[in-house]
Structure 1
Amino acid sequence: MILVTGATGKIGRELVSLLRQSGVPFCAMVRKPLAELPADITRPGDFADGASLHAAFADVTRLFLLCGAQPTMDTLEINAIEAAHESGVERIVKISVPNASERGSAKLQRLHGRSEAALRASGMNWTILRPNAFMQNLYGSTQGFDESRTCRLPLGEAKYCFVDARDIAATAMTALISTGHAERVYDVTGPQALSYYTAANIVSEVTGKNFRFVDITPDESRAGMLASGIDAWFVDEILEWFALFRAGEVGGVNNSVERVTGRPPRRLSDFVRAHADEFREFGG
């Protein structure tokens, strides 16, 4: 039995869809009942509650581990790793971030670095996936286009290796159900390194609408995110990642998706084409 955590997020939602299509037995851990997930595939569980984790992990042999970004994320994931080991889970596929390390320059790198270290030391079979920027972020609240079809970020010509969450999920599923991925760390990217200027041009070409990117300062970005109600801790974390991308310290394109799944990752133009209606809704 596979247990999926983070089942309603960008990657988890796609993984649930793939598992349902495949017929592989699985369940999803949730803190409370959710309309989008049928009750017969959910189990209650909370990363902060050890007893609930042990109950959720009963009869589970493989775990997809994804905890949302937050200041105590390392502790929460380590709770899950320890409970999984005690419950007899044999394999964990964990979502991490590029260049995760206990000595990383960004907070999220350090948090993931600590939970990665616990996973490596657990004695269980493990695989770590480190995705680059999600294509889905292009219509997200912190890194996407607004209603005027404009994206304002402090990135200049920084290159992102945008990857579709579906490709991350497909890589995760293969690592969960197939052999040959134990003790592997995969940097998961799309097939192109693109600036936001280029990304805006691609979206424009595919949709027939005018999308544009405007470079702003980090201070302007911080003020805008805080004004929109985004938590200050998360704002600081996002700005740290923007700085890493500007410095070219996040890594380049690789072929992990194709090596693991047997097919190449989707190009941004393919993603926009598949989601053209969502992009065309910007600006009315």
Structure 2
Amino acid sequence: MTILVTTPNGGVGRYVTDALRARADVRFLVRSESSVRALGEVAGEVVRGDATREDDVRTALDGVDRLFLAHPFAADQLTAETNLGQAAVAAGVRRIVKLGAIDFTTEGAEPDNVTRTHAAIVERLRQADVPELTILEPDRFFQNFLPAAPAIAAGTLADPAGPGARAYVDVRDIAEVAVAELLAETPVGGSIEVTGPQPLTLAELADHFGTAFGTAVEYVDVPMDDAWRAGLAAAGVDPYVIDGLAGLYRNYHRDGVARTGDGVQRVLGRQPRSVADFVPQLVAAAAA
């Protein structure tokens, strides 16, 4: 068995990498030399390549029979994941575990680019007749709040996702489900919704975070206006990504109280990590 891990330094991929770091039968696809350095020491093989280039993809997939398929949300995501998925089937890869996103079923949800891109990739994978296909569908990540840890520690949780409640999920749970599906003799397969144990509003999250820091944390709703866009652009965020985030956040507003999925229980046989399990990471990030 040989496993190929794509985006091994990503938000989920880094935890997948940590779980598989000591295995000699795992190959890691990275784009740049800086990504090689970020990956660190692994027992398996590291392959440099660009997932949007067919020659690089064929080289990375040579001899592979299981694939963890992930790519950052970007203008080239559809091309990269389609290239990898279709080339994987052609190369004889039997099992693909794709990192996707939970969809919106609420009436009035718009086809935002984040979930629409995932849906398009999944459809192409299904058309390619992958023998064993697992689609991970997580809700919003707890770890998305780590970059804001200093501001949260200072008393403010500023976020544009609105008043609804999301079933926030710990990225470590997503990675553990992915690894279990990659290594299982018989995977669960199909679409697996991976969420936290309960929906939480941002105001409720602020209360939990405040308890962890020993101070009051106020939730501040951030309007998705020109100033919000300008701030992201000044931070180097691509306009395509800004538009995608705006559509995603608008759907968070429309979705109200998100549903919870049973993916962690189904695959791992335990309850998902809670906000209490996540807050030590947030506190550590604020202190770093």
- Normalised to the residue count of structure 1, the TM-score between the two structures is 0.89
Task: Look up the match of 1:28.
Answer: 28
> Where does residue 3 of structure 2 map in the other structure?
2
CA distance in 1: counterparts of 2:224 and 2:281, whole angstroms: 32
- Residue identity over aligned pairs, in percent, reads 29
> Residue 48 of structure 1 aligns with which residue?
52
Instruction: Describe the shift of the 1:49–1:171 C-alpha distance in structure 2 as closer, same or farther (beyond 3 A).
Output: same
1:98 paired residue among 98, 102, 125: 102
Matched, 1:75 2:82: no
Gaps of 5+ in 2: none
Cα drift, residue 83 of structure 1: 1.3
Q: 1:223-262 residue pairs with structure 2 within 5 A?
A: 223-248=230-255, 251-262=258-269
* 1:99/1:250 contact within 8 Å kept: no
Which residues of structure 1 form unaligned runs of 5+?
Answer: none
1:147, distance to aligned residue in structure 2 (A): 7.3
1:96-126 deviations in whole A, cap 9, x for unaligned? 112289x961112221111101111112221
Aligned to 1:59: 63
CA root-mean-square deviation: 2.5
CA change 1:258–1:221 in 2 (3 A) is same
Task: Identify the range of structure 1 (182-191 vs 263-272) with the bigger mean alpha-carbon deviation.
Answer: 182-191
Secondary structure in 2 matching 1:209 = coil
Task: State the SS of the aligned residue for 2:47.
Answer: strand
Structure 1 equivalent of residue 14 of structure 2: 13
- Output the amino acid matched with 1:178: A
Distance 1:200-1:48 versus aligned 2 partners, 3 A rule:
same
Task: Describe the superposition over 1:16-40 as per-residue Cα deviations: whole angstroms up to 9, x where unpaired.
Answer: 111236x472121111232132375
* Cα gap change, 1:64 to 1:129, in 2 (>3 Å): same
8 Å contact from structure 1 (residues 151, 213) kept in 2? yes
Q: 2:123 aligns with which of 117, 126, 130?
A: 117
Range 255-264 or range 164-173, more displaced: 255-264
Q: 1:43 to 1:139 in 2, by over 3 A?
A: same
Structure 2 residue identity aligned to 1:93: V
The 1:100/1:127 distance shift into structure 2, 3 A limit, reads farther
Give the counterpart letter for 2:128 in structure 1.
S
TM-score w.r.t. length of structure 2 = 0.88
> 2: CA distance between counterparts of 1:147 and 1:228?
21
Partner of 1:209: 215
Partner of 1:221: 228
Distance 1:128 1:167 in 2: 15
Corresponding residue to 1:276 among 268, 283, 287: 283
Q: Indicate conservation of the 8 Å contact 1:78/1:115, yes or no.
A: yes
Residue 259 of structure 1 deviates from its aligned partner by 0.9
Given the alignment, which residue of 248, 266, 270 partners 2:273?
A: 266
Deviation string, structure 1 residues 123-158 (Cα, Å, up to 9, x no partner) = 2221100111111111236x9946744232233322
* SS state at 2:182 partner: helix
Name whichever of 43-52 and 145-154 sits farther off: 145-154
Task: Verify the 8 A CA contact 1:209 1:280 in the aligned structure 2.
Answer: no
- The farther-off stretch of 92-101 and 228-237 is 92-101
SS at match of 1:56: helix
User: Aligned with 2:68: secondary structure?
Assistant: strand
**Is 2:69–2:97's contact at 8 Å kept on the other side of the alignment?**
yes
- Preserved contact between residue 161 and residue 253 of structure 1 (Cα < 8 Å): yes
